[in-house]
Amino acid sequence: MDELTQEILDKLRTGLAGKNSLFFAPVDAFIERSVYLFVSDFIEKEPKKDVIWLCLSSSRDKIIHKFEDFGYNVSDFTGRLHFIGVESPGKPAQEDTLYCSSPTDYTKIASHVSNLFSANPDSLLVIDNMNVLASDTLQLVENFMQFIDKKVHEGNGSMLSILLKDILPPETETLVKSFYDIVLEATNIGEIHTEIGLMDFDFRYSVSEDSVQLEYASKKIKRDRLKILIVDDEPDIPELLKLSLINEPYDFLVAYNGEQAIDITLKELPDLILLDIMMPDMDGYEVVEHLKKSKTANEIPVMMISAKTAVEDKVKGMELGIDDYISKPFDKREVKARIKMIMRRFGWFAED
């Protein structure tokens, strides 16, 4: 596994801990393999936690074989894998599996989940196909999920599920998504977007015959220091911002009007732009409009810093695609925090 894939898995494992999370993906998105990657990493990196797998799509044996087929060795962790499966007449019971009569035998499944979490707190519950459950009566599904959610949280655990898009009616999909704290929405071209806490988290996954690789959706900034462009027609403001951020690993460029801002951005390609709105020749909105048309600069994050505090002004900026908005007069602690929050979305973290 490459370092970047492991880094993103570490962030996911930390961000999803104690949460109910849903991978919401098109049928052709190959999301299943990424879920197996996440679970195998969880087993390896969380040695005191178990995995409880509700088998709705595949039997216990097929799931073990899939781990092997995908290149994830779980043979050393079988004692920490617990399964809830459907009885198969004529087949012997497995020691690590509790059985129910059908995928919608809610009473037995609920009892098994409750008992397993009592015996194995802090576990991860995997529901491998919510489409199977959600095809049943919605009230039954809702009652079942509320009970499961209660038992998972009582056991200090987490839940991870898969829901395939456009198979169920839209209102059913909406209901199912409401059961979860975090929704990781995938596209059929291998991109995943989610919000963990206050942070947007976007990454890509690619599936090859041998492995799954993860990378940040926005190219990760690998430099130790950020290049930040400050744009303001009042000379004191750039100096104040530079002074406020003097102890941070940032290098600064300064522009005093909109035209300078565009010229410097296209030549220097800064990592972040701190942009005033009210400038004499071209306001901040016009600057953003110009930059969004550029193939080389349209993904550079922009934080507007302005004395304009009306909701309409903030909304206008958001509609143009800015990444954040802070009002003057600003607190230097808030500026620091917001810069770091934006840049984390692009995979940049300041060295401690």
* pLDDT tens profile 180-233: 999 999 988 788 988 887 677 888 888 776 778 898 775 555 567 889 999 999
The arithmetic mean of pLDDT across residues 270-280, rounded, is: 92
Classify residue 273: in a domain, yes or no: yes
Rounded to 5°, angle at Cα 240 from 287 and 340 = 70
Number of folded domains in the chain? 2
For residues 271 and 176, membership in a common domain is answered with: no
- 23: pLDDT strictly greater than 60: yes
Q: Kindly state whether residues 247 and 171 are assigned to the same domain.
A: no
Mean pLDDT of 92-115: 93
Give the mean pLDDT of 127-153: 93
Read off the CATH number of the domain in which 125 is found: 3.40.50.300
CATH classification at residue 272: 3.40.50.2300
Instruction: For residue 125, count CB atoms less than 10 angstroms from its CB and return exposed for 0-12, middle for 13-18, buried for 19 or more.
Output: buried
Query: Once rounded to an integer, what is the mean pLDDT over residues 61-88?
Result: 88
**Residue 230 DSSP label:** E
Same domain? 178 vs 245 = no
Is 351 contained in some domain?
no
Among 193, 216, 239, residue at a domain's last position: 216
Range of the domain at 335: 226-345
The verdict on 181 and 233 lying in the same domain is no
189 and 70 share a domain? yes
Question: In this model, does residue 307 exceed pLDDT 80?
Answer: yes
The confidence score (pLDDT) of residue 310 equals 78
Domain finish residue from 216, 237, 255: 216
The sign of the CA dihedral 16, 18, 22, 23 is positive
Do the domain assignments include residue 221?
no
A 10 A CB-CB count for 267 gives 9
Q: What is the mean pLDDT of the chain?
A: 89
Q: Of 283, 276, 329, 285, which Cα lies nearest the Cα of 305?
A: 276
**What order do you get walking across the sheet with 302-306 strand by strand?**
250-255, 226-231, 272-275, 302-306, 324-327
Rg (CA), the chain: 24
Mean pLDDT, residues 87-104: 89
Residue 76: per-residue pLDDT: 82
Q: Which domain-ending residue is among 170, 189, 216?
A: 216
Residue 59 and residue 18 in one domain? yes
Residues in the chain: 352
Same domain, 253 and 198: no
237 and 208: one domain?
A: no
On whether residue 350 sits in a domain, the answer given is: no
Spell out the residues 6+ positions from residue 257 whose beta carbon is closer than 8 angstroms to its own.
231, 233, 279, 280, 281, 282
Same structural domain for residues 8 and 93? yes
Report the percentage of the chain scoring pLDDT > 90.
56
Q: What is the pLDDT of residue 54?
A: 96
Are 151 and 114 spatial neighbours (Cβ–Cβ below 8 Å)? Answer: yes
| pLDDT of amino acid 174 | 92
